[in-house]
């Protein structure tokens, strides 16, 4: 990878990290959802800065091409994000159902009084 590409990709990733931090600071993004994005950004930075490490890890795992390993890691991280969000939706759905039932019971009690 050329020095220009390394600098360009590094600036994009660092800009993304600044964006995520600003979203957290403004309260628009929860920290628990941003952790996986930080991990992804740091992994990309490490592999951009040390391309030999990417080749070593991919050969260690038996993956033919370092690029394929990056796509595989991105896929795995995407699956973990999707699972985390699905889990959070399930929890929120349960809480919403519980709150709806409580409100219905409170309205029913008010009608009987």
Residues 21-76: pLDDT tens digits?
Answer: 999 999 998 888 788 888 888 988 998 899 889 889 899 989 888 888 888 888 88
Distances from the Cα of 105 to the Cα of 72, 99, 102, angstroms? 50, 10, 5
Whether residue 77 is predicted with pLDDT greater than 90 in this model: the reply is: no
- Cα separation of 88 and 85, whole Å? 5
CB crowding 76-107: b at 16 or more within 10 Å, else e: eeeeeeeeeeeeeeeeeeeeeeeeeeeeeeee
Whether residue 99 is predicted with pLDDT greater than 90 in this model: the reply is: yes
**Is the whole model's pTM more than 0.85, yes or no?**
no
Q: In the chain, how many H helices and how many E strands? A: 4, 0
């Amino acid at each position: 990878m050329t020095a220009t590409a390394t600098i360009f990709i590094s600036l994009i990733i660092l800009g993304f990290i600044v964006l995520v931090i600003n979203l957290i600071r403004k309260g628009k993004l929860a920290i628990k959802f941003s952790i996986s994005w930080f991990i992804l950004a740091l992994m990309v930075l490490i592999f951009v800065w040390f391309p030999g490490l990417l080749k070593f890890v991919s050969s260690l795992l038996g993956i033919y091409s370092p690029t394929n390993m990056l796509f595989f890691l991105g896929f795995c991280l995407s699956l973990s994000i999707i699972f985390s969000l699905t889990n959070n939706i399930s929890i929120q759905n349960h809480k919403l159902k519980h709150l709806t039932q409580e409100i219905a019971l409170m309205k029913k009690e008010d009608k009987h009084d």
